[in-house]
Amino acid sequence: LLVFAARREHIAQVITPTLARGAWVLSDRFTDATYAYQGGGRGVALEKLALLERWVHADLEPDLTLIFDVPPEIAQARYRGDRGASDRFEAEQIAFFGAVREAYLRRARENTRRIRVVDASLSIAEIQAKLREIVPLG
């Protein structure tokens, strides 16, 4: 409920006025992230999230969503800057982020027109090249 209350306020105060003056809006996380973290990660029923989404922004959806996809093990190694052996806490984290990732990828399969999955295990240069294919800005 708090996530969607915050989203409603963000839409009303930032996104809608920005679109109204003709600008583009780039958002780092939106409702797909809620499906991934609260749904896939924390186990909130997806039909509850779908209902709240409809209440809060039935009339607003991104034109394009990019998911930068990487296995949790690689993400964690990059984040920590090392590839040390996992302890128990890390194993739990990897399971959590694995569930989050699966929920993101399911959203992508269900919204093929809007969502593009980018393989983020590639190098930065390769990822940039992919993005130029997806969003050709001239």
Which is nearer to its own copies, 1 or 23 (by Cβ)?
Answer: 1
CA distances from 66 to 25, 32, 36, 104, 106 (A): 13, 10, 14, 10, 14
Work out whether 5 is an interface residue with its own copies (CB under 8 A): yes
- Report H helices in the chain: 2-10, 16-20, 31-34, 46-57, 72-80, 88-110, 124-134
Q: Which of residues 6-45 bind its own copies (CB under 8 A)?
A: 8
Candidates 12, 51, 74, 122: give the one binding its own copies (CB under 8 A).
Answer: 51
How many residues in the chain? 138
Candidates 14, 27, 29, 48: give the one binding its own copies (CB under 8 A).
Answer: 48
Work out whether 1 is an interface residue with its own copies (CB under 8 A): yes
Least separation in angstroms between CB 44 and its own copies: 10
The contacts of residue 13 (CB under 8 Å, 6+ apart) are: none
For residue 59, the tally of other CB atoms under 10 A from its CB is 7
C-alpha span between 78 and 137 (Å, rounded) = 29
Q: Which of residues 98-117 bind its own copies (CB under 8 A)?
A: none
Q: Which residues bind its own copies (CB under 8 A)?
A: 1-2, 4-5, 8, 48, 51-52, 55
